[in-house]
């Protein structure tokens, strides 16, 4: 390694030397364009005073671009085959100060810390100290939505996320009421945060080249406004309602709430509306009315 941002030839050389083939089961499509990873780091809006968790660090292409900003980076990678290569790439990267990678627990802090773990199952509270963390990630389609929701639900130390995933998943995370992509996931994100699409990522910048389009979504956490019991009721209602999203709410919520027409009317919701027309405020009111009726019963 020569200590520069990874290109396609450098990525292939690393993998071939180690005898490693990318695993489709892990969604391993490595970004091999320096301009793209620098663009992602720029869109993440991180710098010397920021702390970043990078999920799915892979060979370190995006890790290096994040390190260039001066941010403190915790690079999480689940594939043990890649961890030695990730360590090699990071430690060879010149930044004007010596960069080295270490496992958690070292007595001396380092600008980049490599953690071999599956982000879906790791102890976030043990990994992150304090608040104000950023998450930047290149996520495979099969875990993108669930991981984002887990972070929003369970990791308040993370206040901003910039996630790259399959375009359809990104659109669902950021969708507004009334759009075709709007669904239960969109509502669950909106409970915690504001989300917006931040740009497309062409397939040509990945190795191997994926068969799907990718996009970036920026998610900014808000101050919690909803009690957990109301949030849980919203989860229950949107799961039920969007299971039959083309039907009227009076039908989709029949059996899920007491007297669907009366409950919907009490919440100020037209029983003939479909679930994709309801914004967060309406879901909150509907959940509150449903809980109150259940308490009275």
For residue 25, what pLDDT is reported?
A: 82
Q: Strands 51-55, 72-77: parallel, antiparallel or unpaired by DSSP?
A: parallel
> 15 with 72, same domain?
yes
Encode pLDDT of 34-57 as tens digits. Answer: 999 999 999 999 999 999 999 999
Asked whether residue 1 is domain-assigned, the answer is no
What is the pTM assigned to this prediction?
0.90
> 29 with 99, same domain?
yes
Q: Is the pLDDT of residue 100 over 90?
A: no
Average pLDDT for 179-204: 97
> 20 with 109, same domain?
yes
For residue 231, what pLDDT is reported?
A: 94
For residue 223, what pLDDT is reported?
A: 87
> 42 with 15, same domain?
yes
> 71 with 136, same domain?
yes
Q: Is the pLDDT of residue 109 over 90?
A: no
b/e sequence 210-233, b meaning 16+ C-beta within 10 Å: beeebbbbbbebeeeebeeebbeb
Signed CA dihedral, 297, 254, 231, 274: sign only: negative
Distance (Å, whole) CA 196 – CA 206: 23
For residue 297, what pLDDT is reported?
A: 54
For residue 101, what pLDDT is reported?
A: 41
Confidence of residue 4 (pLDDT cuts 50, 70, 90): confident
Q: Is the pLDDT of residue 105 over 80?
A: no
> 115 with 159, same domain?
yes
Encode pLDDT of 180-190 as tens digits. Answer: 999 999 999 99
32: domain CATH number is 3.40.50.150
Q: What is the 3-state secondary structure (H, E, C) of 97-114?
A: CCCCCCCCCCCCCCCEEE
Q: Residue 204 sits in which domain range?
A: 8-221
For residue 296, what pLDDT is reported?
A: 72
Report the number of distinct structural domains present in the chain. Answer: 2
- Which residues fall within 8 angstroms of residue 98, CB to CB, at 6 or more apart? none
Confidence of residue 2 (pLDDT cuts 50, 70, 90): very low
Q: How many Cβ atoms from other residues are within 10 Å of residue 165's Cβ?
A: 28
Confidence of residue 92 (pLDDT cuts 50, 70, 90): confident
Average pLDDT for 213-232: 93
Average pLDDT for 267-293: 95
**Mean pLDDT score of the chain:** 91
Residue whose structure tokens are 């027309």: 277
Q: Which residue has the higher pLDDT, 293 or 194?
A: 194
> 206 with 276, same domain?
no
Residue pair 40/134 in contact (Cβ under 8 Å)? The answer is no
Q: Is the pLDDT of residue 230 over 90?
A: yes
From the number of C-beta atoms within 10 Å of its C-beta (0-12, 13-18, 19+), residue 81 rates as middle
End-of-domain residue from the set 187, 221, 255:
221
For residue 235, what pLDDT is reported?
A: 95
> 254 with 182, same domain?
no
Q: Is the pLDDT of residue 294 over 90?
A: no
Report the SS3 class of residue 134. strand
Average pLDDT for 117-137: 94
End-of-domain residue from the set 168, 193, 221:
221
């Amino acid at each position: 390694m020569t200590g520069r941002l990874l290109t396609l030839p450098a990525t292939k050389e690393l993998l071939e030397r180690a005898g490693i083939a990318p695993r489709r089961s892990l969604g391993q499509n490595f970004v091999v364009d320096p301009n793209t990873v620098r663009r992602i780091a720029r869109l993440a809006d991180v710098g010397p005073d920021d702390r970043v968790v990078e999920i799915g660090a892979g060979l370190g292409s995006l890790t290096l671009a994040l390190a260039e900003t001066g941010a403190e980076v915790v690079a999480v990678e689940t594939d043990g085959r890649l961890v030695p290569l990730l360590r090699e790439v990071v430690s060879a990267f010149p930044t004007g100060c010596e960069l080295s990678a270490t496992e958690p627990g070292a007595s001396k802090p380092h600008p980049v810390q490599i953690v071999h773990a599956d982000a879906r199952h790791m102890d976030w509270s043990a990994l992150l100290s304090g608040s104000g963390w950023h998450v930047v990630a290149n996520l495979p389609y099969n875990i993108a939505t669930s991981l984002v929701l887990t972070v929003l639900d369970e990791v308040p130390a993370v206040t901003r996320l910039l996630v790259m995933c399959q375009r359809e998943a990104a659109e669902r995370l950021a969708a507004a009421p009334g759009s075709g992509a709007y669904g239960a996931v969109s509502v669950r994100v909106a409970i915690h945060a504001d989300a917006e699409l931040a740009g497309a990522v062409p397939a040509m910048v990945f190795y191997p080249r994926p068969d799907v389009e990718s996009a970036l979504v920026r998610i900014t956490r808000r101050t919690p406004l909803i009690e957990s019991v109301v949030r849980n009721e919203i989860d229950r209602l949107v799961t039920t309602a969007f299971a039959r999203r083309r039907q009227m709410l009076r039908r989709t919520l029949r059996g899920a709430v007491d007297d669907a027409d009366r409950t919907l009317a009490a919440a100020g919701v037209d029983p003939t509306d479909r679930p994709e027309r309801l914004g967060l405020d309406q879901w909150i009111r509907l959940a509150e009315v449903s809980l109150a009726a259940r308490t009275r019963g």
